[in-house]
Amino acid sequence: MANDASTVFDVVILGGGSGGYAAALRAAQLGLSVALVEKGELGGTCLHRGCIPTKALLHAAEIADETKEAAEFGVLATFQGIDINGVHKYKDDVIAGLYKGLQGLVASRKVTFIQGEGKLSSQTSVDVNGQRIEGRHIVLATGSVPKSLPGLTIDGDRVISSDHALKLDRIPKSAVILGGGVIGVEFASVWKSFGVEVTIVEALPHLVPLEDENSSKLLERAFRKRGIKFELKARFSGVEYTETGVRVSTENGKQIDADLLLVAIGRGPVSAGLGYEENGVAMDRGYVLVDEYMRTNVPTISAVGDLVPTLQLAHVGFAEGILVAERLAGLKPVPIDYDGVPRVTYSNPEVASVGISEAKAVELYGKEKVVTLKYNLAGNGKSKILKTAGEIKLVQVKDGAVVGVHMVGARMGEQVGEAQLIYNWEALPAEVAQLIHAHPTQSEALGEAHLALAGKPLHAHD
Ligand SMILES: Cc1cc2nc3c(=O)[nH]c(=O)nc-3n(C[C@H](O)[C@H](O)[C@H](O)COP(=O)(O)OP(=O)(O)OC[C@H]3O[C@@H](n4cnc5c(N)ncnc54)[C@H](O)[C@@H]3O)c2cc1C
């Protein structure tokens, strides 16, 4: 550790996940002196227990599916099964490579990295390893952990969280997944490809309930076709151990037996016992409250990432961390438009969106002012080649900009970059229709959807 007792850093950051390390890197880049305190591994949830490991599993799952379906493409291959140790090795190698790179990056920017569990000890200091680290400014970035329900104990064996699921040394025969949000749906997709009989239990009327209803319905249709079962509007009422696994009950009287239960009902903030409230930071149910510049009510303290009640996504953490660093360095960053944040569920098929849903647009602008268009991927050559089904749905304010893009289908996550430009630059359908898309690509489907919305459909019926 580089500092001595007399050092006062420009910024002390508590938590080295996506939000914290992005703030550290940007602040250091702007010439501020930075201490970054992390009790676990630099990179946090996303790198070690979230985005990266799940996407590696999903890629292994995709290869399993492609091997099983190879004959449909005239390729002779035999699917022999999943070597779970091999899958973990592949996944862990990806993480290790990125982890090493990140450690090198933080060191190269001259950020003082302090390994240890920190606690806010005043409005300008963090205590760690028995030492007081002073900062002109503090950034709280302690992230989140998996949540459970009252009376539902996660034992790490038969009742598990996503943390355990990512390290599972066996492939269960069957699993119940509690929660049909992004994390639950992604694990359902992986496990089904690995041969697990999966049932999702979701209390709300649809899977991925934060998405436009059309996307939820398309995903449900695809999951049904894949043999992934789901119970909607089904509230969990209890779980008991059976001889070989668990029996999950719902309030509507259903009982489902399985080898294990994955609890994926969301994540809660890490803030208890860390001195936040004691030092006057305003909180709500464990979340730290911030304004659009990520300022708490205490002038010297900011907060970012999953700890604050905004979208729990790594790229949101990055953006919030960067915003804080730029503000502290005296730049004038603009607040984040959270509707303009791209959202991707990396299941098979993928669900990707940016902007607002049709329902929200109707709420904001009135039904008569909202125009929608659905472009079926069946008309897109590359999607046909990939044998994927799905749709791109556009939501437009009548005679105005496109305010929502909602996509379902293989690899649609890769199309969200263009969709994001369309939303964030408030593009008119006619303007996007001007742009020539390469043929045959899936991005062409976005182009064609806008051609149709602009009144001149090409590979689509009038
Ligand atoms: C299974 C899963 C899949 C996901 N997939 C995606 C995805 O595909 N795309 C996406 O954008 N997001 C995804 N996410 C969400 C993403 O991981 C989080 O939004 C992101 O990690 C939040 O970053 P953060 O910095 O706020 O918190 P975290 O990453 O949780 O980091 C907080 C850090 O603070 C440290 N810490 C906590 N308390 C202390 C303390 N007292 N002292 C020192 N250090 C402390 C922790 O050890 C941790 O490293 C996924 C999450 C999960 C669980």
Q: How far is the CA of 19 from the centre of ligand 1 (A)?
A: 8
| Any atom of ligand 1 within 6 Å of the Cβ of 315 | yes
Distance, in Å, from the CA atom of 413 to the CA atom of 182, rounded to the nearest integer, reads 13
For residue 375, is pLDDT > 50? yes
CB 385 within 8 Å of CB 400:
no
Q: Using the 8-state DSSP alphabet, how is residue 335 labeled? A: P
Ligand 1 centroid–CA 386 distance in Å is: 33
Which of 131, 142, 276 most suits a substitution to test ligand 1, by most atoms within 8 Å of the C-beta?
142
> Quick check: CB of 181 below 6 Å from ligand 1?
no
Q: Whose C-alpha lies nearest to ligand 1, atom 52? A: 50
The response to whether residue 143 sits with its C-beta less than 6 Å from ligand 1 reads yes
Find out whether the beta carbon of 270 lies less than 6 Å from any atom of ligand 1: yes
User: Which residue lies with its CA nearest to atom 6 of ligand 1?
Assistant: 51
Residue pLDDT, tens place only, 215-247: 999 999 999 999 999 999 999 999 999 999 999
Quote the mean pLDDT of the chain: 97
Q: Which ligand 1 atom is at minimum distance from the Cα of 307?
A: 26
Q: How far is the CA of 210 from the centre of ligand 1 (A)?
A: 20
In this prediction, residues 199-222 reach a mean pLDDT of 98
118 CB within 6 A, ligand 1? yes
Q: Indicate whether 6 pLDDT > 70.
A: no
Tell me the pairing of strands 125-128 and 131-140: antiparallel
Tokens coding 82:
């999943």
For a mutational test of ligand 1's pocket, the pick from 37, 51, 265, i.e. the residue with the most ligand atoms closer than 8 A to its C-beta, is 51
| Cβ-contact 37, 1 below 8 angstroms | no
Placement of tokens 């593009």 in the chain: 427
Selecting among 439, 450, 459, 461, the annotated active-site residue is 439
pLDDT of residue 151: 87
For ligand 1, the distance from its centroid to the CA atom of residue 373, given in whole angstroms, is 36
Give the pairing of strands 174-178 and 260-263: parallel
Q: And the tokens for 456?
A: 């001149």
For ligand 1, atom 27, which residue shows the shortest CA distance?
A: 143
**Contact partners, residue 83, CB within 8 Å, separation at least 6:** none
CB 230 within 8 A of CB 180: yes
Give residue 460's pLDDT: 81
Q: How far is CA 3 from CA 28, 31, 36, 112, in A?
A: 15, 17, 12, 8
The model's confidence at residue 2, banded by pLDDT at 50, 70 and 90, is very low
Question: CA triplet 266, 269, 273: central angle to 5 degrees?
Answer: 140
Read off the pLDDT of residues 45-71 as tens digits, 9 standing for 90 and up.
999 999 999 999 999 999 999 999 999
Distance 301 CA to ligand 1 centre (A): 20
Do residues 393 and 373 touch, judged by C-beta distance below 8 A?
Answer: yes
- The amino acid sitting at 258 is A
Average pLDDT over residues 321-333: 98
* 404 CB within 6 A, ligand 1: no
Using a pLDDT cut of 90, give the percent of the chain over it: 97
In 280-336, where do the E strands start and end? Answer: 283-284, 287-288, 301-303
Q: Mind listing the pLDDT tens digit for each residue in 135-193?
A: 999 999 999 999 999 989 999 999 999 999 999 999 999 999 999 999 999 999 999 99
Strand 246-250 versus strand 236-241 pairing type: antiparallel
Q: Does the beta carbon of 46 sit less than 6 angstroms from any atom of ligand 1?
A: yes
Q: Is 350 in the pocket of ligand 1 (CB under 6 A)?
A: no
Task: Dump pLDDT digits (tens) for 105-116.
Answer: 999 999 999 999
Report the pLDDT value the prediction gives residue 1, as an integer from 0 to 100.
Answer: 44
- Locate the ligand 1 atom nearest the alpha carbon of residue 116 and give its number: 43
Q: How far is the CA of 2 from the centre of ligand 1 (A)?
A: 26
Q: For residues 213 and 138, give the distance between their C-alpha atoms in angstroms, rounded to a whole number.
A: 40
Closest residue by CA, ligand 1 atom 31: 17
CA of 367 to the centre of ligand 1 (A): 38
pLDDT at 290 over 50: yes
Determine whether 439 is an active site residue.
yes
